[in-house]
């Protein structure tokens, strides 16, 4: 606009100068008038152009304001270069392979259970004269994993696939295949995550993997859990140091334990093993789990509150008298927990966890069956009603870890489970459980030490002592307690 004004003024000045020159050359008055009219016309053109430019400037400013009010979609960014990550041909997706090569050897001096895992809950009773001084070895505890990340307009899309060889497939005499060199492949984690959402199989928010002490036993300490379920999970940050996790998880199948003889509890009768084979139950609803995390600002401490709700269901298809009739019974299973850890020095950390659970055996290790089922008839064909007697128990776990040096660390841990002794579940167990399969009390004491001679290599030794006590009282020929004593050696290379 300034250039146009300058041009117009120059033209006007030139014309005026020309007019003056012409007047001096004896031009006529009419010529002077014509020149003035042309100057006036040029001034109008300048004003018109100036007005148009002002309108265009206002329109551009309005368009910029509208564009600022509507955030434009963020285009996917190129994947960043990370050490140890592999970039695929699309230039955005990155992969990282990780895992461990691990070998375990266990030596049971008392309470041999024939597996590589600590099974204090099922060791033979002291009166059983079980085999002692038994060796088991395995490399099935090795694992392999793959992390995946790709940027999107909504943030990074991440995924994980992790597996090991500790599957539950059974071999000869129902022995676990992961003992003495064998192992069956199984999925540990398989999920994708975008923003606050996660879909797939991973660790449940209800279990306390973050606040449990380190042990070498692959199962983990008593009073803890490692349950990994298929779930849809939402994570909501509350503050910089607090967050809430809520998940809907895959339900459980019928978990009935049947009696080998007709036995009563309350007004109901537990019939024989035909009742077990006839049940076709399964949860109608997903389990609901939640966890609230509170970390200290210096990250030395962590407190977690856990919650869980799920449905227990028994559904039987009767055979003769009531053929074609399905009889359902449902009951609510629930649990709450509290766990924490705190590092009061860089080398010293304490752990503590507590749970109270009713009607569940899935989430925490070493638990009895979630419930027992009772029927209103001693003959399955005549059953018209079903009752569920849920177990109810508490767990506690404490631990202390110390780093002696950058290469050497040790842990001391103790865990226990104790069941409620005055409910239908306990009454039934006291009457029916003549073989001592349902435990009333259990505990473990664990001490270990791990040495890392070079980076990513761990050599460990661990001693575990434990005991279980059943609901069924001891007799002259059968004890109601079983003791457990084991040494565990471990070598692991992590990559």
What's the confidence (pLDDT) of residue 366? 95
Which residues lie below 8 Å from residue 12, measured CB to CB, with a gap of 6+?
39, 42, 43
pLDDT in tens, 371-399: 887 777 666 666 777 788 899 999 999 99
Weakly modelled stretches of the chain, pLDDT under 50: 2, 4, 7-9, 11, 14-19, 22-23, 73-75, 170-175, 258-262, 272-277
CB contact at 8 A, 472 and 430:
yes
DSSP assignment letter at 211: G
Quick check: helix, strand or coil at residue 29? helix
Helices 29-69 and 2-24, interaxial angle, to 10°? Answer: 180
Quick check: helix, strand or coil at residue 85? coil
Question: Cβ–Cβ contacts within 10 Å for residue 228, how many?
Answer: 20
For residue 84, which phi and psi values (nearest 5 degrees)? 85, -5
Burial of 51 (0-12, 13-18, 19+ CB in 10 A): exposed
pLDDT in tens, 193-207: 999 999 999 999 999
CA-CA distances (angstroms) from residue 315 to 275, 281, 323, 332, 402?
A: 10, 4, 14, 15, 50
CB contact at 8 A, 120 and 108:
no
Question: Cβ–Cβ contacts within 10 Å for residue 169, how many?
Answer: 12
Output the six-digit token pair for 132.
């002692």
What's the confidence (pLDDT) of residue 261? 43
Which residues lie below 8 Å from residue 180, measured CB to CB, with a gap of 6+?
136, 137, 138
Dihedral sign, Cα of residue 452, residue 227, residue 115, residue 419? positive
What's the confidence (pLDDT) of residue 272? 47
Burial of 320 (0-12, 13-18, 19+ CB in 10 A): exposed
- DSSP structure string for 361-410: -SSSTT---SEEEEESSSSGGG---EEEEE-EEEEEEEEEEEEEETTEEE
What's the confidence (pLDDT) of residue 7? 43
């Amino acid at each position: 606009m300034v250039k146009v004004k300058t041009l117009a003024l120059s033209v006007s000045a030139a014309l005026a100068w020309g007019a003056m020159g012409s007047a001096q050359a004896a031009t006529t008055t009419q010529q002077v008038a014509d020149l003035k009219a042309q100057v006036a016309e040029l001034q109008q053109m300048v004003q018109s152009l100036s007005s148009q430019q002002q309108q265009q400037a206002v329109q551009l400013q309005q368009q910029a304001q509208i564009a600022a009010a509507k955030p434009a979609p963020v285009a996917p960014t190129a994947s960043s270069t990370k050490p140890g990550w592999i970039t695929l041909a699309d230039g955005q997706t990155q992969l990282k392979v990780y895992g461990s090569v691990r070998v375990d050897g266990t030596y049971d001096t008392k309470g041999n259970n024939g597996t590589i895992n600590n099974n204090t809950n099922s060791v033979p009773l002291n009166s059983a004269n079980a085999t002692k001084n038994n060796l088991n070895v395995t490399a099935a505890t090795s694992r392999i994993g793959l992390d995946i990340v790709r940027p999107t307009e909504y943030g990074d899309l991440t995924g994980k696939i992790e597996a090991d060889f500790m599957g539950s497939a059974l071999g000869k005499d129902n022995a676990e295949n992961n003992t003495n060199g064998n192992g069956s492949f199984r999925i540990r984690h398989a999920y994708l995550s975008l923003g606050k959402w996660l879909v797939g199989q991973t660790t449940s928010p209800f279990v306390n993997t973050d606040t449990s002490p380190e042990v070498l036993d692959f199962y983990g300490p008593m009073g803890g859990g490692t349950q990994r379920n298929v779930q849809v999970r939402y994570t909501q940050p509350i503050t910089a140091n607090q967050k809430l996790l809520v998940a809907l998880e895959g339900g459980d199948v019928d978990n009935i334990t049947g009696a080998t003889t007709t036995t009563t509890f309350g007004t109901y009768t537990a019939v024989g093993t035909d009742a077990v084979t006839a049940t076709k139950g399964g949860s109608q609803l997903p389990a609901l789990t939640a966890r609230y995390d509170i970390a200290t600002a210096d990250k030395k401490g962590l407190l977690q509150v856990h919650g869980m709700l799920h449905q227990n269901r028994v559904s039987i298809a009767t055979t003769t008298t009531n053929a074609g009739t399905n009889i359902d019974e449902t009951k609510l299973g629930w649990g709450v927990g509290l766990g924490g850890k705190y590092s009061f020095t860089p080398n010293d950390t304490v752990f503590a966890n507590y749970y109270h659970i009713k009607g569940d055996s899935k989430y925490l290790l070493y638990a009895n069956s979630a419930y027992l089922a009772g029927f209103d008839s001693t003959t399955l064909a005549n059953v018209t009603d079903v009752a569920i007697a849920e177990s109810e128990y508490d767990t506690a776990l404490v631990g202390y870890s110390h780093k002696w040096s950058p290469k050497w660390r040790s842990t001391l841990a103790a865990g226990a489970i104790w069941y409620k002794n005055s409910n239908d579940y306990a009454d039934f167990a006291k009457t029916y459980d003549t073989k001592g399969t349902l435990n009333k009390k259990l505990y473990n004491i664990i001490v270990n030490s791990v040495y890392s001679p070079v980076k990513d290599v761990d050599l460990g030794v661990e001693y575990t002592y434990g005991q279980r006590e059943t609901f069924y009282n001891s007799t002259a020929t059968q004890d109601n307690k079983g003791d457990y004593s084991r040494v565990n050696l471990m070598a692991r290379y992590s990559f």
